[in-house]
A and B are shown apart, each in its own frame.
Chain A
Amino acid sequence: SYVLTQPPSVSVAPGQTARITCGGSNIGTYSVHWYQQKPGQVPVLVVSDDSDRPSGLPERFSGSNSGSTATLTINRVEAEDEADYYCQVWDSSPEYHVVFGGGTKLTVL
């Protein structure tokens, strides 16, 4: 079955740029969605369909997807961005099902 691979952790200083990757075979042909989950809270959609940002989300969040890697980019990182981030796709083989990446813990130094 389809597998999404994320780094377990990413660390970045405040004000810098964080890039969280999500690897998968030909992931560029999939629509990738990203969720943020802060400790003790429910997941929140931060990027959909590779690069669309839900209304109300800071413009600091953006996404890209090409080849074998999708990337969530957070510009001008703030302390409140510290959270777990998950990528997600739909796979149709052999039947429709959702695949989540293992998650990446973003630490703001």
Chain B
Amino acid sequence: EVQLVESGGGLVQPGRSLKLSCTASGFTFDDYAFHWVRQAPGKGLEWVSGISWSSGSIHYADSVKGRFTISRDNAKNSLYLQMNSLRAEDTALYYCAKDIRPVYRTSPFDSWGQGTLVTVSS
């Protein structure tokens, strides 16, 4: 059974940093690309970033480019999101999502974690 478990969320002041983690199990982690998708309270889905199986392809939404860094450790079956210079508008539930392919181009996300809540407030 595919399992994705996010952690690392919490309350943080504007301008500070936070690092999210997603630990995967139940499948071969390095066979797939991964993504972070967020959802602000009561709002829709917003893609944040994606990373291919080898970390050779990485992309970001304009809203986080230059502030967030996605990474993965295939030996630890883990995905990460380093979030710097956080803003109030980054407040959201952050989901880890598994791609159906090792390199994304047009593919959907077939498994999602339960999410970890990030609240940016003073």
- A residues with CB within 8 A of B: 1, 30-31, 33, 35, 37, 42-45, 48-49, 54, 84, 86, 88-90, 92, 95-103
Q: Which residues of chain B in 11-55 are interfacial with respect to chain A, using CB atoms and an 8 Å cutoff? A: 35, 37, 44-47, 50
Please state if A35 and B95 are interface contacts (CB–CB under 8 Å). no
- Since A1-B62, A100-B47 are in contact, a sample of 14 more A-B pairs with Cβ atoms closer than 8 Å, ordered by chain A residue number, is A42-B95, A42-B113, A43-B37, A43-B95, A48-B110, A84-B44, A86-B44, A88-B108, A90-B104, A95-B59, A96-B50, A97-B47, A97-B59, A99-B47
Q: In the complex, A84 Cα to B113 Cα: how many Å?
A: 18
Place the interface of chain B in its size category.
20 to 34
Interface string of B76-107 (1 = CB under 8 A from A): 00000000000000000001000010001111
Q: In the complex, A2 Cα to B102 Cα: how many Å?
A: 24
Q: How far is the CB of A78 from chain B (nearest CB, A)?
A: 23
Q: In the complex, A31 Cα to B95 Cα: how many Å?
A: 22
Cross-interface CB contact of B104 among A30, A49, A96, cutoff 8 Å: A96
Question: Given that A42-B95, A95-B59 are contacting pairs, would A100 and B44 also be in contact in the complex, using a CB cutoff of 8 Å?
Answer: yes
Q: How far is the CB of B30 from chain A (nearest CB, A)?
A: 20
What 3 A-B pairs are tightest by C-beta distance, nearest first?
A98-B47, A33-B108, A103-B44
Q: How far is the CB of B59 from chain A (nearest CB, A)?
A: 5
Please state if B45 and A43 are interface contacts (CB–CB under 8 Å). yes
Cross-interface CB contact of B45 among A90, A96, A97, A100, cutoff 8 Å: A100
Q: How far is the CB of B16 from chain A (nearest CB, A)?
A: 26
Please state if B35 and A45 are interface contacts (CB–CB under 8 Å). no
Q: How far is the CB of B93 from chain A (nearest CB, A)?
A: 9
Q: In the complex, A99 Cα to B44 Cα: how many Å?
A: 11
Q: How far is the CB of A4 from chain B (nearest CB, A)?
A: 10
Q: In the complex, A45 Cα to B104 Cα: how many Å?
A: 16
Q: How far is the CB of A31 from chain B (nearest CB, A)?
A: 4
Q: Which residues of B contact A95 (CB under 8 A)?
A: 59
Question: Given that A90-B106, A96-B104 are contacting pairs, would A42 and B46 also be in contact in the complex, using a CB cutoff of 8 Å?
Answer: no
Please state if B104 and A35 are interface contacts (CB–CB under 8 Å). no
Q: In the complex, A30 Cα to B113 Cα: how many Å?
A: 26
Please state if B46 and A45 are interface contacts (CB–CB under 8 Å). no
